[in-house]
Amino acid sequence: MRFVSLEEARQANHGLHLGPLNWEAVQYGSVPELGLFREFTLKQCGHRKNLEIAVCLSNFFAKAFPQRNPAIEFFSPNYDPTKDLKAHNEGAPGHCTTRSALVVTSLLSIGVPARVVQLIPADISGGHNAVEVWNGIDNWVYVDPTNGIYFQDASMLQALDKPNNVKLVLIDLPKEVDEFGRTGLYQDSSGFFHVHLNLVYPEPWLYTRVGQKQAFWPFRGVFVAVGNLRLDLGILQWVLWFGIIMCLLGLIITILRKRF
């Protein structure tokens, strides 16, 4: 895990550049490994532009498969993007991570800059995965393929800076997706939402499996967290805190015994 400041992350550019991440999206537009994604994307949404393609893909995947846990996560070392695309197009279930990974990989396959954004609450409980796509001119745009929402010409960082200035646009998803709910991170469609999150951008290799493996097994990818440094060890973190508390209690008991 690498960390960058909010100031550095606010410097928008068309490439996938953030801290130690430094890739040009155009390279993914011709690699043979993403041929199936390229063919699929051009067939479904090829006449559209960057954000329009992300919306088109979100709508397609909303209809293609139900919202449940997938058989394999895209973070898994043996994840295969091509097999995953085929499986979900045939109705295999998936959740927010699945949808975001498929949308981003599809966009990258035709050379459109896109990245998965992990939204991690400050208390590290739960979380959500969404997408940011380059608008083709001067800015990143946040798209949530699961809840069918995107920010009108604004990234998540811009939304966190000035939430009242951000307009939420609803994607026209199927009725059954609407019933799944568009709440959670968002209050309503008026432009106000409530989030206090750390943003984590994974490197493109994690979802395309194309190019040099930048990290050792089983991580296979660099994550760049935006914001303050925080310790995140999963269940080990709770064990660590429990150990610290028990040590402090033991120290207090020892001191009290000596005094009395």
**What is the per-residue pLDDT across 156-175, written as a single tens digit (0 to 9) for each?**
888 888 877 888 888 876 55
pLDDT, tens digit (0-9, with 9 covering 90-100), for 26-79: 889 999 999 999 999 999 998 899 999 999 999 999 999 998 999 988 888 778
Residue ranges covered by each domain of the chain? 2-229, 231-260
Q: How far is CA 21 from the centre of its chain?
A: 15
**pLDDT digits 0-9 by tens, 100-119:** 999 999 999 999 999 999 88
For residue 236, name the pLDDT band (cuts at 50, 70, 90).
very low
Query: pLDDT band for position 9 (50/70/90)?
Result: confident
**pLDDT (0 to 100) of residue 215:** 53
In this structure, are strands 223-226 and 128-134 parallel, antiparallel, or unpaired? unpaired
Average the pLDDT over 197-209 and give the result.
84
Q: In this predicted structure, what is the pLDDT of residue 205?
A: 86
Q: What is the pLDDT of residue 92?
A: 96
| Percent of the chain surpassing pLDDT 70 | 74
Degrees, nearest 5: CA angle 89-183-1: 70
- How many Å apart are CA 13 and CA 1, to the nearest integer? 22
Q: What pLDDT score does 53 carry?
A: 97
- Residue 16's pLDDT band (boundaries 50, 70, 90)? confident
Report pLDDT for 112. Answer: 94
Which residue has better confidence, 89 or 170? 89
CATH code for the domain defined by 2-229: 3.10.620
Q: What φ, ψ does residue 144 adopt, rounded to 5°?
A: -110, 100
Evaluate whether 154 touches 128 at the Cβ level (below 8 Å): no
Nearest of 160, 105, 111, 116 to residue 21 by alpha carbon:
116
Asked if the model's pLDDT at residue 98 lies above 50, the reply is: yes
Average model confidence (pLDDT) across the chain? 79
